[in-house]
């Protein structure tokens, strides 16, 4: 006669194994089952929680029920979106700063100088090669 192993008893305790023919006829296994059932009953007996703690918790819940602003979930989302927008905005600002800036006046004067010059601007480096 092969008795149930501890693993089998555990699986039975947690609903993963059904009683079989052996257990029905085995006094030893039945006794073990009864012992384990009592042990389980002790485990599922809820622990004591201090009344003061529970009362303070209820006060907190009532306060939040009457004060919807304390429900931070939507505010958290809004804060995240705002932070994201701020990051995007600051990045955009930085990239626009790094781009070369030139005023209209400067641009027009450079264009006028190029127009008046007889030689194209690209010749200047070649002239420099022959200078002493």
Partner 1 sequence: MGVMADQLGASLDAKASTREFGPWMVSEQKRVFLLCQRMLQDVGEADSATQDTFLKAWQALNRPESKDLDDPGKWLTRIAVNTCLDRLRSRRWQFWRKRPGSEDEQTILLMAPATDPNAEDHVFAEQIGKRLDRALERLSLRQRAVFTLRHYEDRSLAEIAEILDLDVGTVKVHLFRAIEKLREELHDLYFRNRGRK
Shortest reach from residue 11's CB to partner 1, in Å: 7
Residue 130 binds partner 1 (CB under 8 A): no
Residue 101 binds partner 1 (CB under 8 A): no
CB–CB of 29/23 below 8 Å? yes
Shortest reach from residue 7's CB to partner 1, in Å: 8
57: its two tokens: 């918790």
39: its two tokens: 């042990």
Shortest reach from residue 90's CB to partner 1, in Å: 23
CB–CB of 70/64 below 8 Å? yes
19: its two tokens: 């009683």
Give me the 78-97 binding string for partner 1, x by CB under 8 A, dash otherwise: --------------------
Give me the 41-80 binding string for partner 1, x by CB under 8 A, dash otherwise: -xxxxxxxxx--xx--xx-xxx-xx-----x---------
DSSP letter string over 92-109?
HHHHHHHS----HHHHHH
Residue 14 binds partner 1 (CB under 8 A): yes
């Amino acid at each position: 006669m092969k008795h149930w192993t501890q693993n089998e008893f555990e699986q039975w305790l947690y609903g993963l194994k059904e009683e079989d023919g052996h257990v029905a006829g085995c006094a030893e296994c039945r006794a073990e089952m009864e012992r384990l059932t009592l042990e389980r009953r002790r485990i599922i007996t809820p622990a004591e929680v201090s009344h003061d703690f529970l009362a303070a918790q209820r006060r907190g819940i009532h306060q939040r029920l009457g004060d919807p602003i304390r429900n931070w979930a939507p505010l958290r989302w809004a804060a995240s979106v705002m932070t994201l927008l701020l990051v995007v905005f600051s990045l955009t600002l930085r990239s626009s700063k790094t781009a070369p800036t030139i005023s209209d006046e400067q641009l027009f004067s450079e264009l006028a100088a190029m127009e008046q010059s007889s030689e194209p601007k690209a010749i200047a480096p070649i002239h420099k090669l022959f200078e002493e």
